[in-house]
């Protein structure tokens, strides 16, 4: 994996102080990029279970660097979701196209989120909707085959399934509130950064309310 990250940074022209441009030491790359990435991924995993440092070593070996352009699809209807993607920088929207031609936002993802279609991944059935990058988005991903191999080496990786449940439960909780104001308050309590990163029409669709209703709720709360 070291070679992958070294390639990324060298091509961005990052160099160690005192070195010529284009020349970068492996140890410097690890301290500037690989280790911070490890810490962020470990923090996200430990929200869902107990993962000792030594157990996570093979997990980091399977991560592959990936970048998506703005508007590029990570998943389209009819495909099976067979990967998880950890966002280092950028944002992703999960949505479906309804019969009347409208789009329904299922979920929104930002930095340090794991991106996947939970239903498609769990059942290994074709996806109903899209996963689409809303801006240039880079991070690391692994496949369902990687997960199976990890579980064979150590059952502790069964805990990764909690990540699948967490995103679904969050969305259900936000939408289950009785009023539009309660829905918005519940969302802002957990995801306050969303209003600064996503169009309000996407947030309204995610909550199951109209953009006009969301605007009225926001005005009321700001008064």
pLDDT in tens, 50-68: 887 777 888 888 889 999 9
* Torsion angle of the four alpha carbons 185, 191, 193, 199, in this order, in degrees rounded to the nearest 10: -70
Say how far apart CA 180 and CA 185 lie, in whole Å. 9
Q: Determine the pLDDT at residue 21.
A: 32
CB of 87 closer than 8 Å to CB of 137: yes
21-45 per-position pLDDT tens digit:
333 333 333 334 455 677 888 888 8
134-162 per-position pLDDT tens digit:
999 999 999 999 988 988 888 888 888 78
57-113 per-position pLDDT tens digit:
888 888 899 999 999 999 999 999 999 999 999 999 999 999 888 999 999 999 999
Tally of CB atoms within 10 A around 109: 25
6-10, 52-56, 124-128, 139-143: range with lowest mean pLDDT = 6-10
104-108, 170-174, 179-183, 217-221: range with lowest mean pLDDT = 170-174
pTM for the model stands at: 0.80
> Quick one: CA dihedral 119, 123, 129, 132, positive or negative?
positive
Q: Determine the pLDDT at residue 35.
A: 59
CATH architecture classification, 59-171: Sandwich (2.60)
More confident residue, 10 or 75: 75
């Amino acid at each position: 994996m070291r070679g992958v990250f070294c390639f990324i940074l060298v091509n961005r022209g990052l160099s160690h102080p005192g070195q010529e441009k284009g020349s970068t030491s492996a140890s410097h790359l690890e301290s500037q990029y690989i280790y911070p990435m490890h810490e962020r991924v470990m923090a996200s995993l430990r929200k869902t279970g107990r993962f000792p440092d030594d157990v996570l070593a093979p997990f980091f070996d399977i991560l592959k660097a990936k970048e998506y352009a703005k508007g590029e699809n990570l998943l389209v209807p009819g495909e099976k979701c067979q990967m998880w993607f950890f966002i280092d920088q950028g944002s992703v929207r999960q949505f479906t196209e309804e019969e009347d031609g409208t789009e329904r936002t299922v979920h929104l993802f930002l930095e340090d989120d794991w991106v996947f279609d939970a239903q498609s991944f769990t059942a290994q059935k074709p996806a109903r909707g899209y996963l689409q990058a809303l801006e240039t988005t880079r991070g690391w991903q692994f496949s369902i085959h990687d997960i199976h191999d990890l579980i064979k080496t150590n059952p502790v990786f069964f805990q990764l399934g909690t990540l699948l449940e967490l995103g679904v439960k969050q969305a259900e909780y936000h939408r289950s509130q009785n009023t539009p104001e309660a829905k918005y308050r519940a969302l802002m309590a957990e995801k306050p950064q969303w209003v600064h990163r996503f169009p309000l029409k996407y947030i309204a669709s995610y909550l199951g309310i109209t953009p006009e209703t969301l605007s009225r709720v926001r005005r009321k709360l700001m008064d």
